């Protein structure tokens, strides 16, 4: 509505807030690019449109025809983005056809291509990281999980899984640093004590405290779920309120 009324700065503010709130982020970025293009900010529009593509925006016909993008219609960067969008669509179609083919190497290779194009799609990056771990490609797994965490998709899990990938690759210092980041983000996982992926870190004296923090949070969650499942709502509410008001917790935990 605001774009239609020519109130482009107001429109841009709303699309930015939509992105922050996590609602249809790729579409929010596309519409923000439209607002910037209509306001005459061609470079800004192209930067935001690129980010929309990395989040998974894939409507090539709209990009080719949308009058809101007239200011960047003849830019070479727009043609490159449309090419990337078509490549992403082709890779998705090929992957969909391969899932039942029993060719894990080809499936992994195509998924890697897709992940390196969709560098802001946290859910896809998380899936790719697990595929890379299964394939024994620890460097690729570390990249995917760290990228997942950096774009804000389940960051605690992302950093924990990067730590696993780094530990498997023998990088103790980086593994411990990322495990600490996972703990700071509120990672809760009581089976950490049996997680063989972290064995390379266990002899370091710093590991014990990180393991304790992550395991305790996991046990806390199990106890909370037990209270809820058992109908003990008062105990659960008290525990939830304690977590919500604990300034030492991550924003995700308190939310």
DSSP code for 204: S
> Which ranges of the chain have pLDDT less than 50?
none
How remote is the C-alpha of 176 from its chain's centroid?
21
- Tokens representing 197 are 């992926």
DSSP character string of 6-72: T-HHHHHHHHHHHHHHTSSHHHHHHHHHHHHHHTT-HHHHHHHHHHHHHHT---HHHHHH-GGGGGG
Q: Which of 210, 187, 181 is nearest to 198 (CA)?
A: 210
pLDDT of 249 reads: 84
pLDDT of 73 reads: 96
Report angle CA 137, 182, 23 to the nearest 5 degrees: 90
- Tokens representing 11 are 């429109």
pLDDT of 100 reads: 63
- Tokens representing 215 are 């395991």
CA-derived radius of gyration, the chain: 22
d(CA 134, CA 65): 42
pLDDT of 110 reads: 95
d(CA 110, CA 103): 11
Q: Is the dihedral angle over the CA atoms 45, 50, 55, 58 positive or is it negative?
A: positive
pLDDT of 97 reads: 85
pLDDT of 250 reads: 82
- The kind and range of the H/E element at 115 are helix 104-117
Question: How many helices (H) and strands (E) are present in the chain, helices listed first?
Answer: 13, 0
pLDDT of 104 reads: 87
Alpha helices in 185-245, H assignment, sequence order:
205-229, 233-244
d(CA 118, CA 104): 20
- Tokens representing 165 are 């990938």
Q: Residue 47: CA atoms inside 13 Å, Cβ hemisphere, count?
A: 5
Q: Mind listing the pLDDT tens digit for each residue in 14-42?
A: 999 999 998 999 999 999 999 999 999 99
pTM (2 decimals)?
A: 0.89
Are 57 and 89 in contact, with CB atoms under 8 Å apart? no
Report angle CA 43, 25, 48 to the nearest 5 degrees: 5
């Amino acid at each position: 509505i605001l774009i239609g009324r020519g109130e482009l700065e107001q429109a841009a503010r709303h699309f930015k807030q939509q992105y922050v709130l996590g609602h249809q982020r790729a579409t929010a970025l596309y519409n923000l690019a439209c607002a910037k293009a209509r306001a005459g900010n061609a470079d800004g529009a192209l930067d935001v449109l690129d980010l929309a593509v990395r989040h998974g925006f894939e409507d090539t016909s709209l990009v080719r025809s949308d009058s809101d993008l007239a200011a960047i219609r003849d830019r070479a960067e727009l043609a490159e983005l449309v090419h990337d969008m078509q490549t992403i669509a082709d890779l998705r179609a090929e992957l969909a056809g391969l899932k039942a083919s029993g060719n894990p190497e080809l499936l992994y290779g195509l998924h890697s291509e897709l992940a390196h194009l969709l560098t802001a799609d946290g859910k896809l990056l998380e899936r790719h990281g697990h595929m890379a771990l299964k394939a024994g490609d620890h460097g690729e797994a570390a990249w995917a999980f760290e990228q997942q965490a950096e774009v804000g998709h389940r960051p605690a899990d992302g950093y924990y899984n990067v730590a696993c990938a780094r530990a498997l690759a023998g990088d103790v210092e980086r593994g411990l640093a990322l495990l600490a980041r996972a703990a700071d983000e509120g990672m809760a996982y009581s089976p950490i004590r049996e997680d063989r992926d972290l064995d390379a870190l266990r002899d370091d004296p710093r590991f014990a405290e990180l393991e304790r923090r992550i395991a305790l949070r996991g046990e806390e969650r199990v106890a909370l779920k037990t209270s809820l499942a058992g109908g003990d709502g008062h105990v659960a509410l008290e525990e939830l309120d304690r977590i919500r008001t604990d300034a030492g917790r991550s924003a995700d935990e308190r939310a």
